[in-house]
Amino acid sequence: MLKILKYSFYDLIRSRWSYVYLLFYLILGFVLLFLNNDLSKAVITLMNVIIILVPLIGTIFGVMYYYNSKEFTELLLAQPIKRSSIFIGQYLGVALSLVMSLVIGLGLPFVLYGLFESSAIWDFSLLLITGAMLTMIFTALAFNIALYNENKIKGFSYAILLWLFLAVIYDGLFLLSLIIFETYPLDKFTLIATVFNPIDLSRILILLKLDISALLGYTGAIFNQFFGTSIGLFSALGMLLLWIILPVWNIKRKAQKKDF
Amino acid sequence: MQKAAQYSLLLLFVFSSHFSSVFSQIEVCKTCPIKTIKEGIKQAKPHQKVTVKAGVYKEHMILIDKPITLFTNEKVTIDGEDKDDIIQVLADSVTIDGFKIINVGSSHVTDYSAIRVDRSKHFLIQNIELRNIFFGIMLAKAKHGTIRNVNVYGDAVHQHSSGNAIHLWHSNHILIEHNTLVKSRDGIYLEFSDDCIISNNLSKDNLRYGLHFMFSNRDEYRNNTFENNGAGVAVMFSKEIQMHDNHFQFNWGSASYGLLLKEINDADIVGNTFEQNTIGINVEGTNRINYKNNTFKRNGWAIKVNGACYENVFTQNNFLYNSFDVSYNSKMNNNSFNENFWSGYTGYDLDDNGFGDIPYRPVKLFSYVVNRTPNTIILMRSLFVDIIDFSESVSPAFTPDNLMDERPLMKQVK
């Protein structure tokens, strides 16, 4: 598995798109810092960017990589290598190279602008952790979609649809249901509904850092316990981890059974 | 001639005897002839100084009924042993300086206090430390006094069984400055008290309000810091209050405000800083108030308007990274919001005159949604919410369409 991981990783590192992705984050980081020079404000702006953009790029990259390296995968399948190590290796190769672009691309400008002397370092590390987790989650989901769909076009459209659904439509439906059922006690429903969307989960991690004063304005015991203590932070991180583990486990399961 | 000399001699004698009684001071200490403060006050003549030497004096109901100075520059503790009032001032021109007063009695019937000033004028209370109190300093129908450098460390747990650190009732022209008020019910409470000045105080961790006005007019408070109080600062049913250069910070909670305004007319709120409060200013029924040069930074709601507010002017304020800048609960607007700096403003300034070319709408649709269904706060900063906010700002349907800053500043107000 490590060998395949290494191969995919180096393959991707040498590809043009990784550089474009890296460059994008470098430019974004430098421009943001150049424009306002205030680390904590730049972190806030980046948080908004990351929860939307990282999932999109993770999904597209994942699907693209799977379809592009399909022939190579079939060649590998003919060799005496475990199926799970082929697919998990490829997945980790893609995910880790994306994570690396993200961490270097955003880390470099911030370090150069004096991150280590700044109080924003915790917010920034939370930002990077959230970004890394979102990359892992959405690459895994993309691999799942690709495994289930032989047709490239269909696979791509499903991937885009998945992103659109989780990034925008889900919140719309969520908001609508909260308003329609506003006469009912919705505390638990609200918290549970966020768990089913990794983008919402990451958003809440960020809210806990930025808007805690507004969040505490709501009178609900469950809410206050969730937001007011470290329970919120840890349960959200735990759920994100679960969001990585489950799709990866499904990649493994599906790959074992799939007829190539 | 001889007669004149006799008279002048007599005059001299009268004066010197009088002056000697004024300049000579009465000393109270454990080994002196006078062992208790009460006895010292009893022996003192008007305008004489009673100096207390170091030690713990277990006394309560110390009545000061003549104009004297009660003074110490040593470590003197007056222990009231939880009984009732400790010092009562009933005369004019009394000075109390330098004591540590502990253990005031508590009651559900009487407002026991460490120092009670009753119907007196021209008093000075300074350099006092109060611990384990019910009420700290209570002024009832007092006038023209000063409370300076008083440190109150309360231990209030419940609102109903605790008192206020400094309590004014029907007291006018009082100066309250450089005090530290911690953990009481209200830090400073004014009821029917006009023309008072409150400056340079620190009021924090109080159960209810850091500063509380009721039916008090023409008062002024400046350079105070209000931090982590149960509900911030409340100004209610008062007119012509001046609020300058105060800091309101870290007032977190569902009913917690930096500043709560209710039924206030003709006030000025200038140069204050509101930082990380759940609600910066909660406004209800206020008219003709000028908000100028204030900074609202990282509050949940910078300004929450709950109706019946007319002809208020917000200008030259900084709104920085608040979750919601302004929240309204109706479509009516009669207040002006021109020439402020909004960190959320995304417009441009092509003619380079320092004002943005397109107006800024500080009221977001999402703040309406949250007002109606508080649960939805969990969707804050979601892309979907940004989209509906954007479409609302293009063509307002729910928010007051005339509520906008037509000349938003491009640079922060210094």
A207 at the B interface (CB within 8 A)?
yes
In a domain, B12, yes or no: no
Residue A130: CB partners within 8 Å, gap ≥ 6? A47, A50, A51, A202, A205, A206, A240
**Tokens for B279?**
């609600």
The shortest C-alpha distance from A243 to chain B (Å) reads 19
Q: Tell which of B275, B378, B392 to mutate to test the A interface (max A CBs under 10 Å).
A: B378
CB under 8 Å to B170, separation ≥6 — which residues? B140, B141, B191, B192, B193
Give me the DSSP letters along B215-252: S--S-EEES-EEES-SS-EEEEEEES-EEES-EEE---
Tell me, yes or no, whether B56 lies in a domain: yes
Domain end, chosen from B206, B229, B252, is at B229
CB contact A233 to B (< 8 Å): no
For residue B240, the model assigns a pLDDT of: 93
**Same structural domain for residues B192 and B267?**
no
Domain final residue, candidates B229, B254, B275:
B229
- Say if B378 falls within a structural domain: yes
Cα separation, A209 vs A231, in Å, equals 14
Neighboring chain A residues of B373 at a CB cutoff of 8 Å: 178-179, 182
Helices and strands in chain B: count of H runs, count of E runs: 4, 36
Side-chain-side CA neighbours of residue B226 (13 Å): 37
Last residue of a domain, one of B197, B229, B261: B229
Domain assignment of residue B18, yes or no: no
CA dihedral A51, A57, A59, A63 (to 10 degrees): 180
Same structural domain, B110 and B33: yes
Contacts of B300 in chain A (CB under 8 A): 211, 213-217
Q: Cβ of A211 and B252 within 8 Å?
A: no
Distance of alpha carbon A222 from the chain centroid: 27
* Residues A33-71: tens digit of each pLDDT: 888 766 767 777 788 888 889 999 999 989 998 998 888
At A180, list the tokens: 């329609």
Q: Identify the domain containing residue B151 by its residue range.
A: 25-229
Distance of CA B322 to the CA centre of its chain: 25
Residue of A nearest to B257 (CA): A217
pLDDT of residue B17: 47
Q: Is the pLDDT of residue B212 over 50?
A: yes
Contact present, A135 and A95 (Cβ < 8 Å): yes
Using a CB–CB cutoff of 8 Å, tell me whether A56 touches chain B: no
Q: What percent of chain A has pLDDT over 90?
A: 34
- Check B377 against A218: CB less than 8 A apart: yes
Is residue A222 over pLDDT 80?
no
Q: Does residue B59 sit in the same domain as residue B117?
A: yes
Is B17 part of any domain? no
The region of weakest confidence among A14-18, A240-244, B321-325 is A14-18
Q: Directed axis angle between helix A16-36 and helix A39-68, to 10°?
A: 170
Q: How far apart are CA B202 and CA A153, in angstroms?
A: 66
Other beta carbons within 10 angstroms of residue B277's beta carbon come to 32
- pLDDT given at position A218: 67
User: Per the domain annotation, does B13 fall within a domain?
Assistant: no
Interface of B with A in 122-151 (CB under 8 A): none
Please give the angle made by the CA atoms of B205, B206 and B209, to the nearest 5 degrees.
125
Which residues on chain B are in Cβ contact (under 8 Å) with A52? 383
Does B392 lie in the same domain as B263? Answer: yes
Residue B254 Cα, gap to closest chain A Cα (Å): 4
B368 CB within 8 Å of a chain A CB: no
- For residue range A78-114, list pLDDT tens digits in order: 888 888 888 888 899 889 999 999 999 988 888 888 7
> Can you spell out the DSSP letters for A123-139?
HHHHHHHHHHHHHHHHH
Is B199 within the bounds of a domain? Answer: yes
* Contact call for B298 and A213, based on CB within 8 A: yes
**By CA distance, what is B258's nearest residue in A?**
A213
pLDDT of residue A213: 66
Q: ipTM of the predicted structure?
A: 0.84
* Residues B48-77 pLDDT 10s: 999 999 999 999 999 999 999 999 999 999
Evaluate whether residue B7 is within a structural domain: no
Q: Are B91 and B63 in contact (CB under 8 A)?
A: no
Whether B283 and B155 map to the same domain: the answer is: no
Angstrom distances, CA of residue A82 to CA of A14, A88, A165, B61: 26, 10, 34, 90
Q: What is the mean pLDDT of chain B?
A: 89
Contact at CB, A52 and B383, closer than 8 angstroms? yes
Per-residue confidence (pLDDT) for residue B4, from 0 to 100: 60
B251 and B214 both lie in a single domain: no
Element (H, E) at B320: strand B318-320
Total structural domains in chain B? 2
Cβ partners under 8 Å of residue A19, min gap 6: none
> Is any Cβ of chain B less than 8 angstroms from the Cβ of A38?
no
Answer yes or no: do B38 and B163 share one domain: yes
Determine whether the interchain pair B381/A168 forms a contact, defined as Cβ–Cβ distance below 8 Å. Answer: no
Q: Quick check: A120 pLDDT over 80?
A: no
B360 and B401 inside one domain = yes
Q: Please report where in the chains the tokens 């009032």 appear, as a residue.
A: B85
Same domain membership, residue B148 and residue B290: no
- Identify whether residues B33 and B85 lie together within a single domain: yes
**B189 and B73 in one domain?**
yes
Burial of A109 (0-12, 13-18, 19+ CB in 10 A): buried
Cβ-count burial B116-134 (b if 16+ within 10 Å, e if not): bbeebbbbebbbbbbbbbb
Domain match, B286 and B331 both:
yes
